[in-house]
Amino acid sequence: MSHLPIPLAVLYAGLAGTVIALIVATATNKWSPRVFFLLALRLAIGWHFLFEGLNKVQSYYTGPTETSKPFSSEPYFRAAPGPLGPRMRREFSDPAKEIAKKVKAPDAMSLAEFAGKSAEFENELKAIDATEATALNAAKTPAEKDVVRAKAITERDEARAKRDTFQAAQCPAAVAELIDANDMLTKTEDAIQLEVSTTDPKAIKDAEDKALKAADEAEANALKHARIHATKEVPKDGIPRWTATDVAAITKDKEAAKAKARADADKKRVDSKAKGVKFKTEAAQRIVEAKAAYARWVYGLDARGAQVKFVSGDVLLTGPQRIEHLKWVQLLAQEVATRQSNDLGNGTGTDSKRVAEFRMAAIAAEAELARDADAFIAELKKELNGGKAVEIDPISSRGQLLDRITMWFLVIVGAFLMGGLFTRVVCVLAAGFLATTYLTHPAFPWYPLPPNTEGNPVFVNKNVIEAIALLALACYPTGRWLGLDALVLRPFWKHKPDSPQC
């Protein structure tokens, strides 16, 4: 209440006015104790609802600060073990549905088929590498070697493009749609153009010079060792440690390293220019590569770091492995819960706590997998956007909408109870709200206590008590004794009500 932007003087005045109205209403009804305590109970519950709602409204519209966060019931429902708990969690997010759409491999192709086809492309790439190595050994001049490398680069790029196109086609439809969203093709084109415009020719030249210098230093060090070994005594086997052929090989390696450095620098210059000319084609290919990278994780070829229960630190797991781990955690939680329900593990707080821990571990593992899938998509889009995170307009979930309805519901219920308007209907609605809250987090001894619970309630908690009190109030016309019901509902009275007696 102290967080509300309401002066204390106003609060004191409101409280004093409420007390005076209570006394006047009691006096009007012949100082009936029943009237006094029923009205006091109604006003107390109304005051509670009103300021609970006002505090939530104020936190929502103020936004996050250093000392507080906007009202959200998601943390409360995240750990809710009751019958309505799963339903309320799905109102905020449905991890199982997200996993089915984003992590589970589409049924159109099995994991084995995807792996087999991908292996064919990898074998093709290895064959290109082997052919290039053979051709380089047969080449006589640097110019011939440059031709061999250029041909191999073209063949390798074509093979990778075919592989990525195949793999991208197997990317889950929901993920492919998310990668394409937010005008990603245009953003990728802009990123490529920026990349080309900021490519420093001097940096390419410096890298080339550095590689050439490293080749000269490597040759000098190798020749130095050759001279040292050549002066040593010939080994007993009669074979010299270094020969003229070895020295010639050292020089040949230097020339090959220099040729590669020049070829790499030339390729960077050509690639930079080609990207600038064909940035649209390059952008489309990068998006294909992003989808292919996600598909490789989904189909079990690539692994990503993940948190695993009972293991500290990140563990590299593929998409199918994450799903199998999730199923294992869920099965473990189910077995522990079944064991307790069969009275095999009942009777101690430790057993109940253990059941709660495994159940929360299963919920957390499912939510974590859905979050990791979204994080992977965000990383891919960030890479496409030149290293800048892509801003996505947040989509309000039904749970967030329910939060806004809830906080205003509390304000309205509190105000109506304080003002005595439609009192009986409001009491029933408020009791229904409390019953819903109880069914998400029942005070059952085998369930963990809800967050911020005071004491140790068993079956009956404050929500149950307040709901019963509201239903009791609904049995009496307290709005006529003190409130607007005396004016609003007067035309509907058939008989003048008798004054309540003690």
Separation of alpha carbons 111 and 295, rounded Å: 11
- Classify residue 20: in a domain, yes or no: yes
- C-alpha torsion sign, points 128, 129, 131, 136: positive
pLDDT number for residue 345: 43
* 46 and 429 Cβ atoms separated by less than 8 Å: no
DSSP helix/strand/coil, 312: strand
Confidence of residue 444 (pLDDT cuts 50, 70, 90): confident
DSSP state at residue 106? P
Structure tokens given for 67: 């000392």
Q: Are 440 and 85 in contact (CB under 8 A)?
A: yes
| Domain membership of residue 25 as a residue range | 8-77+401-492
pLDDT at residue number 346: 45
For residue 398, the surrounding DSSP H or E stretch is helix 398-419
Q: Where on the phi/psi map is residue 199: left (φ > 0), alpha (ψ -120 to 50), or beta? A: beta
Asked if the model's pLDDT at residue 234 lies above 70, the reply is no
SS3 at position 317: strand
Better pLDDT: 211 or 197 = 211
DSSP H helical segments within 279-318, as ranges?
279-298
Is residue 472, in this structure, part of any structural domain at all?
yes
Distance CA 44, CA 136 (A): 90
Q: What per-residue confidence (pLDDT) applies to 185? A: 85
Question: Of all helices (H) and strands (E), which one includes residue 306?
Answer: strand 304-308
Phi, psi of 305 (to 5 degrees): -65, 140
- Could you list the beta-strand ranges (E) of 187-273: none
**Residue 159 confidence (pLDDT):** 92
pLDDT beyond 50 at 2: no
The two tokens of residue 134 are: 């053979």
Q: 0.75 exceeded by the pTM?
A: no
Whether residue 203 is contained in a domain is answered as no
Q: Cβ–Cβ contacts within 10 Å for residue 124, how many?
A: 17
pLDDT in the model for residue 341: 65
Which residue type is seen at 243? T
In whole angstroms, what is the distance from residue 264 CA to residue 267 CA? 5
Q: Is 478's pLDDT higher than 70? A: yes
Share of the chain above pLDDT 70, in %: 83
Distance CA 73, CA 88 (A): 9
pLDDT in tens, 56-105: 998 888 887 777 788 888 888 877 888 888 888 888 888 888 999 999 98
Q: pLDDT by residue (tens digit) across 380-412?
A: 999 988 888 887 766 778 888 899 999 999 999
> Terminal CA-to-CA distance of the chain, rounded, Å?
35
Residue 94 falls within a domain, yes or no? no
Beta bridge partners of 307: 314
Residue 217: predicted pLDDT: 81
What would you report as the CA-atom Rg of the chain, rounded to the nearest whole angstrom? Answer: 37
Give the tokens for residue 270: 């050509």
Residue that wins the pLDDT comparison between 128 and 444:
128
pLDDT confidence of residue 166: 94
- With H, G, I as helix, E, B as strand and everything else as coil, classify residue 316: strand
- What was the pLDDT predicted at 1? 43
Number of separate domains in the chain: 1
Question: What one-character DSSP code corresponds to residue 299?
Answer: T
> Do 386 and 275 form a contact (C-beta atoms < 8 A)?
no
Q: Among 474, 466, 478, which residue's Cα sits nearest to residue 419?
A: 478
In a domain, 235, yes or no: no
Most confidently modeled range among 62-66, 305-309, 340-344, 457-461: 457-461
Cα gap 373→175, rounded to integer Å: 9
pLDDT at position 66, please?
77
Measure Cα distances from 231 to 235, 242, 251 in Å.
12, 10, 20
Report whether pLDDT(466) > 60: yes
Poorest-pLDDT segment among 21-25, 39-43, 78-82, 203-207? 203-207
Residues 479-501: tens digit of each pLDDT: 989 989 888 877 766 555 545 54
Q: Does residue 228 carry a pLDDT above 90?
A: no
Highest mean pLDDT: which range of 89-98, 228-237, 389-398, 460-469:
460-469
Residue partners of 189: CB distance under 8 A and separation at least 6: 279, 280, 283
Residue 388 lies in a domain: no
Q: How far apart are CA 80 and CA 74, in angstroms?
A: 10
- Give the three-state DSSP class for 79: coil
**pLDDT tens digits for 326-362?**
999 889 888 887 776 665 444 455 666 777 778 888 8
Handedness of CA 478, 483, 486, 492 (dihedral sign): negative
Is residue 115 in some structural domain?
Answer: no
- Is 429 part of a structural domain of the chain? yes
Euclidean distance between CA atoms 386 and 391, whole angstroms: 13
**In 3D, which of 256, 59, 291, 80 has the Cα closest to residue 174?**
291
**Token reading at 391:** 């801003």
Q: How confident is the model at residue 502 (pLDDT cuts 50, 70, 90)?
A: very low
Interatomic CA distance for residues 43 and 418, integer angstroms:
5
Residue 474: predicted pLDDT: 95
Q: DSSP characters for 16-71? A: HHHHHHHHHHHHHTTT-HHHHHHHHHHHHHHHHHHHHHHHHHHHHHH---SS----
Does residue 341 or residue 302 have the better pLDDT? 302
Tell me the average pLDDT of the chain.
Answer: 82
**Which position has the token pair 């440690």?**
241
Listed residue (399, 316, 400, 331) closest to 365, CA to CA: 331
Higher-confidence position of 38 and 311: 38
* Residue percentage of the chain with pLDDT more than 90: 32
State the helix-helix crossing angle for 319-341 and 349-384, rounded to 10 degrees. Answer: 160
